[in-house]
Structure 1
């Protein structure tokens, strides 16, 4: 089972889908709607040093625990922050772009390691 913990739908396209088309359903394999609460990368403010805010990253917020048979689609920053601790996180990979260059989906999902 795939759960989409990004704030937007994830469209998975077949490999033959070329960039540059505004037709959303052309070679569409799956459209995965987002869950109600997206996973985010939380921050911890550590204070200010020489006028620069020191911030600790790497803590996920609203990310469910691992469950057998479930993989979570998350943003790249969330997956990279937790790559050494979570093998159930996937990210969109090989983006598909429309005629104006906006990302509208991807051809694969990837697991950052």
Structure 2
């Protein structure tokens, strides 16, 4: 199973807000906690913009990879007896379900 790329690159609070649908105050608290834990770091905008960006650290990437691997192993155990057709059908319905949630929330995916 492939869950896609880990990150889109450094992101500002505004970009994180758009991606996760959270307000800036919530994101400021969460990014501060992630920085204290050594999971993300704040850097100047690589493209020269005014907003500072957040980038995942090596430790954060290791933790994210470990979490993702654990989820994949769990899904593989659950679906061990499923046919390829069943897995494909489930994936299609899950994709449709998530797309419709995003659309109804006024945040269609994929975002630009």
TM superposition score category, shorter chain reference: under 0.3
> Relative contact order (C-alpha < 8 Å, sep 6+): which is higher?
1
- Compute the TM-score of the two structures, normalised by the length of structure 2: 0.24
Higher strand residue share: 1
- Compute the TM-score of the two structures, normalised by the length of structure 1: 0.24
